[in-house]
Structure 1
Amino acid sequence: MIVKGLSRQILLGMASVTVVAGLLVFFGTYLAFAVLFYFSPWPEDTDNWLTGFDFIILTILILIALIVAAIASIRLARRILEPLESLAISARQIKDGDLSARAIPGDHSLGETALLVEDFNAMAQRLQDMAADMTLWNATIAHELRTPLTILKGRLQGMIDGVFEPDEKSLHALVLQVDSLARLVEDLRTVTLADSGHLDLRLQSVRLKDEILRLAAVLDEELQQDGFELKLDLCDVVVRVDAMRIRQALLALVTNARRYAHRGLIEISLGVERDQVILRVTDEGPGLAPDIAASAFEPFRRGGESGSLEKGGNGLGLSVVRAIVEAHGGRVRYAPSDKGGAMFEILLGKAVS
């Protein structure tokens, strides 16, 4: 659309120059003859006199029109080509690795050209942001992998050197570190696939209440051991989702509450509001700090002492929830609960009748 608009703009500009040149010749000829007839006597041999003067005057006026048209065309071409030349130079700089290069819009009255340059600059900014995010991701992933790998290497080397006995307790600790690595890899895979639009979902009509009850039966004993009470408030709805992925998202929210919330009640509720299925996980505090609530679902975002966000985790739990929910076409959001804690809401599609 921009290319067509730019071509139309150039054609209109050149057509305008041509029309102006033609009008200049026409009206200039008329005015010139009017002046000549006013100041000069009318000759007897009108036909010969007009033929000679016609040629001279028309030649002069055409030369003037050509000069005016050439100047106007050069100025118009310069206004159009300057931002395009800047665009080409910036594109070559980006190709060579300089992602900070930006084109100059030039004259904003040339709407399509300025829009093309602005779109290019927006694309360049996005590329620069993606490169910066990738660098941060690589550094953060390396940091997250380093700790369990260092522990594994140290423990295994200690067993080889005879410093540690390969007893059941030591082996269990190593298994925990392997589990930590496996969770990190799976979380990274989920977030990456979701961001690229390739997260595999096996959608089917699911009675969500039954899936939550099965997950709660597994979690209830562990939560009680940690001093939590699990409360369920579930309505019986059928929704088209990937049951395994929804359980994964719900487990991440409950794990987050278990890790950071005050010992007390964790409530899971399921209901339908305005034809939309809503799944909520609520705890009794302390909730998220105001400075991190807005970015709670960003990868590797951790909270401080006052927040219930990923402290001590790998920083991917809530971003995994966001990735799974958005892959379903839904939304996830945070709000303070009535009891001063955190309330995470998963908004899915309409219930299946």
Structure 2
Amino acid sequence: MKKERGRLGRQIVLSMGLVSSITMLIAFVGSIVIYGLLYLFAPPSGPLTPDDLFIPDPRDYLIFAILLLIGLVVAVVIASRLARRILAPLNSLAESARRIAAGDLEARALPGDRSLGETAHLVDDFNAMAVRLQRMTSDMTAWNAAIAHELRTPLTILRGRLQGMKDGVFKPDEAQIRGLLFQVEGLTRLVDDLHIVTLQDIGRLEMRMEPTRIDVEIRHAVDSVSDTLHEAGFAVEVDLADVVVACDGARIRQALLALLDNARRYAVPGRLRIALVLHESTFTLGVEDDGPGLAPEFAQQVFEPFTRADASRSRKFGGSGLGLSVVRAIALAHGGQAVYRRSAVGGSIFELVLPRG
């Protein structure tokens, strides 16, 4: 590699020397040609003397050779310094690329002299790419660990129950079958949620956009879980505007159900308000509870996958930690956004802000 670096430096020096030599040669020959043309088309008046004719003699060629040598020396010195300035960040960039390829994701290139704007920008872009690659690798590692953790519990239960039924410890009655189906349904929801979040991350989550009575879709979603919410101690209030918007009604129901399930798991029993508000170019679907709300530091990452509030601040009834991530994925796929804010009474308000068009 050092041999290749030296080769590049020599190429820069030789190129600069060659350019300097060609430039001086063009200047020398061009002066003779221009002088000859001027003499041809605009000859001087009066008789000509030998001094009026520019005919190079050996002394002229000697002067030109000396000037050419001086130009070459100056060009080599300037080219050497320029080569060092150019090669320093490029060498750092190549070294960092090799370290990253070897698995050292913390490697970063040094921009060196920032007066070479394009080279400095190249190094900055490389470092930004390295930071993003390191973050993606860390996120992937965290995802794998979180997925393994979420899958371990239901799979352990399923294996234990099935092994117990095989060994005769458990009777394969209706209660056992219902418990096994519950675990399978949990696994199915986890896989579906992971599928949605992953598709959105790679920009492949497709929506079936069509004119939809969004208020009707919301009422259907609320009716499907109203008994469960009432049993958990929630009084549901619905405030909807009658409107037809272009959206994927099934995905909107899925997002709303995720918000309601999140409220059932983490909010204190009380009022649960579902509101649909129309704006000029957007509409907002919000779910508001009576508390306890989220800590400011947790609210910034509430829509990230596999994040949960602290157990001392909320009632925890299981869940994969993907529900709010699914809500955000559906909002983004619609060209909107998912928002959390604290209510006036200290509760939580989760909103889907989506375009009406």
TM (normalized to structure 2)?
Answer: 0.83
CA deviations 1:110-155 (Å, max 9, x no partner) are: 0011101110111111111111111111111011100000011111
Identical-pair percentage: 55
CA displacement at 1:18 relative to structure 2? 4.4
1:143 is aligned to 149
CA RMSD of aligned residues (A): 2.7
Is the contact between residue 277 and residue 349 of structure 1 (CA under 8 Å) also seen in structure 2? yes
Runs (4+) of structure 1 moved beyond 4 Å? 45-48, 306-311
**Distance of 2:88 and 2:111 partners within structure 1:** 9
Instruction: Count residues with an aligned counterpart.
Output: 320
CA deviations 1:159-198 (Å, max 9, x no partner) are: 1222222222222111111111111111111100110111
**Distance of 1:309 and 1:245 partners within structure 2:** 27
CA displacement at 1:96 relative to structure 2? 3.2
CA displacement at 1:334 relative to structure 2? 0.4
Structure 2 unaligned blocks of 5 or more: 1-11, 29-49
**Distance of 1:311 and 1:79 partners within structure 2:** 61
Is the contact between residue 256 and residue 309 of structure 1 (CA under 8 Å) also seen in structure 2? no
1:238 is aligned to 244
Select which of 62, 78, 89 maps to 2:95: 89
CA deviations 1:282-301 (Å, max 9, x no partner) are: 00000112220000000111
1:54 is aligned to 60
Q: Does residue 1:313 correspond to 2:319, yes or no?
A: yes
**Distance of 1:286 and 1:306 partners within structure 2:** 11
SS of residue in 2 equivalent to 1:348? strand
**Distance of 1:135 and 1:180 partners within structure 2:** 23
TM (normalized to structure 1)?
Answer: 0.83
Q: Does residue 1:172 correspond to 2:178, yes or no?
A: yes
1:64 is aligned to 70
1:4 is aligned to none
1:222 is aligned to 228
Select which of 112, 117, 124 maps to 2:118: 112
Structure 1 unaligned blocks of 5 or more: 1-9, 27-44
1:125 is aligned to 131
Is the contact between residue 331 and residue 354 of structure 2 (CA under 8 Å) also seen in structure 1? yes
Q: Are the structure 2 counterparts of residues 272 and 337 from structure 1 closer, same or farther at C-alpha, using a change threshold of 3 Å?
A: same
1:31 is aligned to none
Residue identity opposite 1:293 in structure 2: A
Q: Are the structure 2 counterparts of residues 310 and 105 from structure 1 closer, same or farther at C-alpha, using a change threshold of 3 Å?
A: farther
**Distance of 2:218 and 2:196 partners within structure 1:** 21
CA displacement at 1:94 relative to structure 2? 2.6
SS of residue in 1 equivalent to 2:311? coil
CA deviations 1:199-223 (Å, max 9, x no partner) are: 1211111110010111111121221
CA displacement at 1:310 relative to structure 2? 6.9
Select which of 200, 203, 209 maps to 1:194: 200
2:300 is aligned to 294
**Distance of 1:278 and 1:310 partners within structure 2:** 27
2:161 is aligned to 155
Select which of 331, 335, 342 maps to 1:325: 331
